[in-house]
Amino acid sequence: MTAANEITKAEFEAQVWAGMSEAVFQGQVLQTARLMGWGPVYHTRYSLGSRAGYPDLHLLRGKRSVFMELKTMKGKVSPAQDEWILALMEA
């Protein structure tokens, strides 16, 4: 039971995530990845002229390779992003 001025863990998380920008989220993911030994990390800063939909991040650690498409609670995967996600999963 919570006091009148307290919120639940789920309510707190919903409020934090609801207002988070993709840039802030990506920064947190990168910081966590580096702390966990992932690197090098690739991110296309300006994708002008590149094929649409490529994942936001590509992380390496040893023989492991991970692609990440990051979305906030408001974000939606585009058809081009879906195409890349499916192609990378099949590779």
Alpha-carbon span 2 to 78, nearest angstrom: 40
Which carries the bigger pLDDT value, residue 16 or residue 59? 59
Alpha-carbon span 69 to 7, nearest angstrom: 31
Q: 78-87, pLDDT tens digit by residue?
A: 999 999 999 9
Question: C-alpha dihedral over 21, 22, 25, 31, to 10 degrees?
Answer: -130
3-state secondary structure of 50: coil
pTM as predicted? 0.77
Q: How far is CA 49 from the centre of its chain?
A: 22
Segment holding 41, helix H or strand E: strand 41-42
Of the pLDDT bands very low, low, confident and very high (cuts 50, 70, 90), residue 60 is: very high
Question: Is residue 7 predicted with pLDDT exceeding 80?
Answer: yes
